Amino acid sequence: MPPADGTDPTARPAGTTPSGPKVVHVNDCAFYAQRILAKASEQELPWSFYPRAVANYPLTGLNGRARYALDGAAWLGGLARRAVSSDLLHIHSGGVTQHTRFIPKTYVLTLHGTDIRTLQYDERWRNTILRGVRNAAAVMYTTPDLREHILPHRPDAVYLPVSIDLTKLPLPVSREQGRARVFFVSRWDDSKNAAGQLETARQLVLRSGGTFDVYGLDWGPMAGEAEKAGVKLVPRMSHSDYLDFLNASNIAVGQAAGILAASELEAMALGVPLYISLTPGLYPDDIPVGREPAESPAAMAELIAAELKDQDVLERRGAQGRQWIAEHHDPARAVERLREIYAAASR
């Protein structure tokens, strides 16, 4: 029971900050760290961000290699200074441990996809990835399909999904005006099963009959094939512009690789009805998306074309998707779980 005077015994005194380790997040993937840090900042947690160094210049020739070495040394120096004044590093992506291993600091590691799903099976990267995984005080992964790739090496790895803060997104808009837009939200490459996406896109264009448009990003090695199939490509854009474009779409089509990544989750969070072929067993059966088996792109296209004509179905699926994100991808919940992980790792 609360005290008789009505005060909250769990409330912090004015001007104080939560106790806990001082943590530096190193690198980011698909705004994963950014979303967590934004929520942590609201709670006045002592967590900060150090971006990965980017060499946006040629690495060939004596000058290019020398500049790369100097920039790398400067980056390591910056990380070392931050590590000295912190309790813990939180590294995003297994490949980044190739560089951070030179800093003798306790760290936790989040695996984001390609690092553990693909690079660990590449001889050039395997030792780096597995060394980083085995030496981490704690390991997390962001999508459920990664479980089978990480658990043999770290049975204690924790699933901590992508966070989506509904309050930081554009408000859902009315999509009843003008010609309907179906938007493929993922890039056209093998990691997203672009071949499956392409076949669904072809089937959709065939069924459109000029009543709706099929759009996709001009991104990925198979984007040209998508354009030949009749997909209207839009250039890569800032994240805020991308969200506005997605928000104005009538339907979002997810990647054909069977998982919900950031783009798919953002569509649901915006209330845009999502259609995706999910890998059986990875997600609850009642997840509010339109789905058909991955081997049936024609059935998926037929479902999308039919439901585009039913505004009630679209609105209901969009609202349910937004609610599902609020319940399962709340950044406040992710921050609370990380506080527990950091406390255990820094003991």
CA distance 122 to 175: 45
Burial of 219 (0-12, 13-18, 19+ CB in 10 A): middle
How does residue 174 score in pLDDT terms, banded at 50, 70 and 90? confident
Round to whole Å and give the CA distance between 112 and 284. Answer: 21
Domain boundaries, the chain: 23-163+330-345, 167-328
pLDDT score of 344 more than 50: yes
The answer on pLDDT for 3 being more than 60 is no
Structure tokens at 147: 């479980």
Pick the CATH number of 23-163+330-345 from 1.10.510.10, 3.40.50.10170, 3.40.50.2000, 3.20.20.150: 3.40.50.2000
- The whole-angstrom separation of Cα 70 and Cα 232 is 43
Equal fold, 23-163+330-345 vs 167-328: yes
Which contiguous run of DSSP H or E holds residue 183? strand 180-184
Query: Using CA atoms, how far apart are residues 335 and 341, in angstroms rounded to an integer?
Result: 10
186 or 59, which is more confident:
186
Lowest mean pLDDT among 9-18, 46-55, 147-156, 200-209: 9-18
Quick check: 150 and 141 in contact, CB under 8 A?
Answer: yes
157-194 b/e (C-beta count within 10 Å ≥ 16 → b)? bbebbbbbbbeebeebeebeeeebbbbbbbbbeeebbb
pLDDT computed for residue 294 by the predictor: 84
Q: Distances in Å between the alpha carbon of 25 and those of 47, 99, 268, 278?
A: 7, 14, 27, 31
Task: Return the pLDDT at 8.
Answer: 41
Handedness of CA 54, 57, 61, 67 (dihedral sign): negative
Residue 1, pLDDT score: 39
Sign of the C-alpha dihedral computed for residues 243, 141, 260 and 29 taken in this order = positive
Q: Please give the average per-residue pLDDT across 155-165, as a whole number.
A: 97
Q: Could you count the other beta carbons within 10 Å of the beta carbon of residue 255?
A: 24
pLDDT more than 70, % of the chain: 94
pLDDT for position 64: 80
3-class secondary structure, 22: coil
The alpha-helical segments, DSSP class H, found in 89-145 are: 97-100, 114-117, 126-135
Structure tokens at 191: 């990691």
Query: How much is the pLDDT for 12?
Result: 46
Q: Which residues pair with 339 in a beta bridge?
A: none
pLDDT in tens, 240-251: 999 999 999 999
When pLDDT is averaged across residues 203-226 and rounded to a whole number, the result is 96
* pLDDT value of position 15: 42
pLDDT of residue 18: 59
Measured CA angle at 229 (ends 223, 235), to 5 deg? 35
Is the Cβ–Cβ distance between 99 and 76 less than 8 Å? yes
For residues 220-226, give the mean pLDDT.
97
Q: What is the mean pLDDT of residues 225-247?
A: 97
Q: Which residues pair with 132 in a beta bridge?
A: none
pLDDT tens by residue, 7-56: 443 344 444 455 689 999 999 999 999 999 999 999 999 999 999 988 77
Is 129's pLDDT higher than 70?
yes
What's the confidence (pLDDT) of residue 323?
97
For residue 174, the Cα-to-chain-centroid distance in whole angstroms is 26
pLDDT (mean) for 211-227: 97
Element (DSSP H or E) covering residue 115: helix 114-117
Letter for the amino acid at 161?
P
> What are the distances in angstroms from CA 189 to CA 35, 123, 162, 217, 267?
26, 22, 21, 11, 20
pTM of the model: 0.89
% of the chain exceeding 90 in pLDDT: 84
What CATH number should be reported for the domain whose range is 167-328? 3.40.50.2000
pLDDT in tens, 47-95: 999 999 887 777 788 888 888 889 899 999 999 999 999 999 999 999 9
Segment 164-189 shows an average pLDDT of: 90
